[in-house]
């Protein structure tokens, strides 16, 4: 089956497309983790929330593009609100208090969406422009999925330049590298962190909107994705863009090809990949620095 | 001279904290026995559930003693559960043999997983343990032997009728579970106070320093993980005796999350906090689910409140409070005294 070059190429594209979605969530989580040592499990809740906002926008007659323009901003606003109202308060209380708080937020978020929209999955239509398929060297591939791959590449490139070439990027890298020294030099890591958090939740929001036409919108979609994203983050290594990219690709491919080769054990393959990586690289493939990994 | 005074003060503070922890434990035992004595037939099931979850939390908290937090403990619970089910239902052997098999299974599997897992720590350890448990879940979900996702019923309880104890009576089963939880707690209090336990605590506080002093961090962590696995498997063996049923749900990460949350609510690193958190969680879930429609909304709100108000859990809060009170009496009692509760 995999020997058929067309089928193989199609699966490679599928893997890429899923990797891009994982990346949109993983980068925010990874940098937040790297910068503040903050374990924010509620990152997936923002993703789910954005998907529901997108659903509402399209329900009200707005286009997919309107949803894509609007929902991530709403997501980032809600993310910042959560940050200043709740998350910030356990910044220094350790991972466990953060887990308890963010699991609490996940429970609340899921039930609030249930109350507002019901238990059944909702659909968001693909934009008209991207409804067809594109002929790629003899493979008919859905344009929407191709758009996702392109979007992921654009975000990756933009983030690369933002991190490597701008002043804010330098501040973020300094903070991830050695927070105490950066603060001694007068950098307000708290402000940098709030901005990074906003960008991270914005991208999670983008992820939620673009995932909606493919996977649907339902309560619990946050938990489904967050486990995979956490795996991406630890496999890639904390706090680094390259790590998040590599981790997303590895898990995206492992998931897609796992489902083809061993349909019943796809999840197992992902966990096996993670176990293997962490056996040889206990802090992930490309961590921004050697993290002190005390809980 | 001054440092000597400080040292003895510190020692008395530590002893004080241990005394308070154990005191809370005794109060909890009395409360559990009173609840068991005076509550309804249905509440017996809740008490048994809380006591079994209590055993499970103790296993997780022992591991936390050396600074490791597992997010895949349901896997070890599941090993005990599936071993017990396999030995009784599939092999037709008596439950007493099955309990031994479950604990042995827990020891072997946690030793093997530990060989890989305890090399990592922090968030990485969390993810490796989650991965191990999810792999077991994937197997259990597809297992033809154990009826896959549908699960397998008809799991018998330990037969103590020859000595006049009928465990099919919910009141007696609840009592047995309380007793078992107390035994595990007492044993772990002894372990934590032993040189082995002190070394684990030292590893939690500063693994590099212990290694530099010649302590075998890996071996100690592996020993803690294996002991923890044995206790988790024991909890699993009693969990399935309680429900008479095994299914992959036992191994799902929600179960790992529940036990972790119970420990965090009670206070990680305090031992007694686990069973206290277990009782709080079981009661909360029961009350909320019977009176409120969307009860996860309220459960989540309570979790968030506990995380904000009591980041070191209920017992951690009490210990901090008592620490502050005695500190205000004896201003010399110095920093570092709140180390024990803070993981």
Q: Domain extents for chain B?
A: 2-329
Residue A190 lies in a domain: yes
Residue range A65-121, pLDDT digits in tens: 999 999 999 999 999 999 999 988 888 888 888 888 998 999 999 999 999 999 899
pLDDT of residue A266: 75
pLDDT of residue B334: 45
Residue A106 lies in a domain: yes
| Residue of B75, B311, B315, B342 for testing the chain A interface, max A β-carbons within 10 Å | B311
> Using the beta-carbon criterion (under 8 Å), do B307 and A105 form an inter-chain contact?
no
How many beta-carbon contacts under 8 Å exist across A and B?
A: 147
The answer to whether B107 faces chain A, any CB pair under 8 Å, is no
**Closest by Cα among B18, B32, B56 to B179:** B32
Residue A194 lies in a domain: yes
Residue B342 reports pLDDT greater than 70: no
How does A75-89 read in b/e, with b if 16+ C-beta sit within 10 Å? bbebbbebbeebbbb
pLDDT of residue B1: 43
Lowest mean pLDDT: which of A262-271, B219-228, B265-274? A262-271
Contact, B124 vs A286, CB < 8 A? no
Once rounded to an integer, what is the mean pLDDT over residues B189-218? 93
- ipTM score of complex: 0.84
Residue B338 reports pLDDT greater than 50: no
Residue range B227-261, pLDDT digits in tens: 999 999 999 999 999 999 999 999 988 899 899 99
Once rounded to an integer, what is the mean pLDDT over residues B118-134? 85
Residue A295 lies in a domain: no
SS3 A126: coil
pLDDT of residue B274: 95
- Selecting from B116, B131, B264 the residue whose C-beta is nearest the C-beta of A96 gives B264
> Using the beta-carbon criterion (under 8 Å), do B308 and A90 form an inter-chain contact?
yes
Interface of B with A in 31-60 (CB under 8 A): none
Give the Cα separation of B278 and B326 in Å (integer): 29
Once rounded to an integer, what is the mean pLDDT over residues B104-131? 89
Confidence of residue A1 (pLDDT cuts 50, 70, 90): low
> Using the beta-carbon criterion (under 8 Å), do B297 and A112 form an inter-chain contact?
yes
> Using the beta-carbon criterion (under 8 Å), do B303 and A279 form an inter-chain contact?
no
Residues in B touching A272 (Cβ below 8 Å): 131, 135
3-state helix, strand, coil split of chain A in percent (to 5) is 75, 5, 20
Once rounded to an integer, what is the mean pLDDT over residues B196-218? 92
Residue B269 reports pLDDT greater than 80: yes
Structurally, how many domains does chain A consist of? 1
Interface of B with A in 162-181 (CB under 8 A): none
Our CA dihedral for A281, A284, A289, A291, rounded to 10 degrees, sits at -90
Confidence of residue B333 (pLDDT cuts 50, 70, 90): very low
Residue range A14-56, pLDDT digits in tens: 999 999 999 999 998 988 888 777 888 899 999 999 999 999 9
pLDDT of residue A270: 87
Min Cα–Cα distance to chain A from B232, Å: 20
pLDDT of residue A49: 96
- Selecting from A111, A230, A268 the residue whose C-beta is nearest the C-beta of B297 gives A111
Q: How many other β-carbons are positioned within 10 Å of the β-carbon of residue B317?
A: 17
pLDDT of residue B116: 85
For residue A136, the cross-strand partners are A139
Residue A262 lies in a domain: no
**Closest by Cα among A27, A82, A20, A72 to A50:** A72
Position with higher pLDDT, A48 vs A177: A48
Reported pTM: 0.84
Once rounded to an integer, what is the mean pLDDT over residues A208-218? 94
pLDDT of residue A286: 85
Residue A165 lies in a domain: yes
Residue A168 reports pLDDT greater than 80: yes
Residues in A touching B69 (Cβ below 8 Å): 95-96, 295
For residue A135, the cross-strand partners are A140
Matching CATH number, B2-329, of 3.40.50, 1.10.3470, 1.10.4160, 1.10.260: 1.10.3470
Position with higher pLDDT, A169 vs B326: A169
- Its domain, for residue A215, covers 13-219
Once rounded to an integer, what is the mean pLDDT over residues B34-39? 87
Residue A290 reports pLDDT greater than 70: no
Residue A41, phi then psi, degrees to nearest 5: -70, -15
Residue A177 lies in a domain: yes
pLDDT of residue B339: 43
| Residue of B303, B305, B310, B341 for testing the chain A interface, max A β-carbons within 10 Å | B303
Once rounded to an integer, what is the mean pLDDT over residues B137-156? 88
Once rounded to an integer, what is the mean pLDDT over residues B137-155? 88
> Using the beta-carbon criterion (under 8 Å), do B127 and A274 form an inter-chain contact?
yes
């Amino acid at each position: 089956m995999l020997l058929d070059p067309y089928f193989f190429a199609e699966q490679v594209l599928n893997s890429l497309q899923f990797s891009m979605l994982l990346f949109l969530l993983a980068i925010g989580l990874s940098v937040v983790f790297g910068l503040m040592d903050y374990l924010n499990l509620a990152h997936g809740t923002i993703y789910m929330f954005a998907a529901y906002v997108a659903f509402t926008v399209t329900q009200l007659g707005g286009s997919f593009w309107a949803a894509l323009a609007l929902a991530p901003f709403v997501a980032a606003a809600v993310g910042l609100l959560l940050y200043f109202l709740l998350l910030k308060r356990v910044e220094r209380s350790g991972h466990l208090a953060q887990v308890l708080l963010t699991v609490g937020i996940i429970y609340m978020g899921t039930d609030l969406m249930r109350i507002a929209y019901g238990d059944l999955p909702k659909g968001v239509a693909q934009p008209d422009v991207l409804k067809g398929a594109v002929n790629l060297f003899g493979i008919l591939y859905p344009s929407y999925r191709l758009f996702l791959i392109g979007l992921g590449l654009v975000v990756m490139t933009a983030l690369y330049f933002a991190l490597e070439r701008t002043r804010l990027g330098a501040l973020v890298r300094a903070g991830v590298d050695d927070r105490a020294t950066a603060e001694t030099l007068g950098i307000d890591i708290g402000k940098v962190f709030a901005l990074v958090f906003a960008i991270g939740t914005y991208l999670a929001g983008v992820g939620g909107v673009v995932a909606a036409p493919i996977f649907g919108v339902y309560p619990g979609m946050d938990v489904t994705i967050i486990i995979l994203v956490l795996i991406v983050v630890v496999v890639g290594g904390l706090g680094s863009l390259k790590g998040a990219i590599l981790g997303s690709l590895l898990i995206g491919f492992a998931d897609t090809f796992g489902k083809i080769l061993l349909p019943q054990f796809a999840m197992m393959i992902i966990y096996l990949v993670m176990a293997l990586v962490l056996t040889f690289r206990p802090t992930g493939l490309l961590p921004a620095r050697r993290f002190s990994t005390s809980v | 001279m001054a440092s000597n005074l400080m040292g003895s003060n510190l020692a008395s503070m530590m002893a004080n904290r241990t005394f308070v922890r154990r005191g809370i434990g005794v109060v909890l035992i009395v409360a559990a026995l009173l609840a068991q004595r005076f509550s309804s037939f249905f509440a017996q099931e809740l008490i048994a559930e809380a006591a079994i979850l209590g055993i499970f939390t103790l296993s997780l908290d022992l591991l936390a003693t050396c600074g490791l937090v597992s997010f895949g403990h349901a896997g070890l619970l599941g090993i005990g559960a599936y071993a017990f089910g396999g030995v009784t239902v599939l092999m037709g052997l008596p439950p007493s043999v099955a309990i031994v098999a479950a604990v042995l299974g827990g020891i072997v599997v946690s030793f093997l997983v530990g060989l890989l897992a305890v090399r990592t720590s922090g968030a990485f350890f969390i993810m490796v343990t989650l991965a191990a448990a999810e792999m077991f879940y994937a197997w259990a979900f597809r297992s033809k032997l154990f009826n896959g996702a549908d699960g397998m019923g008809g799991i018998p309880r330990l037969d103590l009728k020859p000595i006049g104890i009928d465990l099919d009576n919910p009141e007696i089963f609840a009592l047995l579970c309380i007793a078992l939880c107390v035994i595990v707690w007492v044993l772990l209090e002894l372990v934590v106070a032993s040189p082995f336990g002190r070394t684990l605590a030292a590893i939690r506080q500063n693994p590099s320093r212990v290694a530099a002093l010649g302590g075998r961090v890996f071996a100690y962590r592996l020993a803690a993980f294996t002991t923890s696995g044995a206790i988790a498997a024991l909890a699993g063996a009693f969990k399935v005796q309680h429900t008479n049923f095994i299914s992959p749900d036992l191994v799902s990460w929600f179960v790992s999350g529940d036990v972790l949350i119970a420990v965090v609510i009670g206070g990680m690193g305090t031992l007694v906090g686990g069973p206290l958190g277990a009782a709080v969680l079981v009661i909360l879930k029961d009350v909320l689910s019977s009176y409120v429609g969307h009860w996860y909304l309220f459960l989540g709100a309570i979790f968030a409140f506990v995380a904000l108000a009591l980041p070191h859990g209920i017992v951690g809060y009490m210990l901090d409070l008592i620490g502050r009170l005695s500190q205000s009496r004896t201003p010399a009692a110095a920093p570092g005294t709140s180390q024990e509760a803070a993981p």
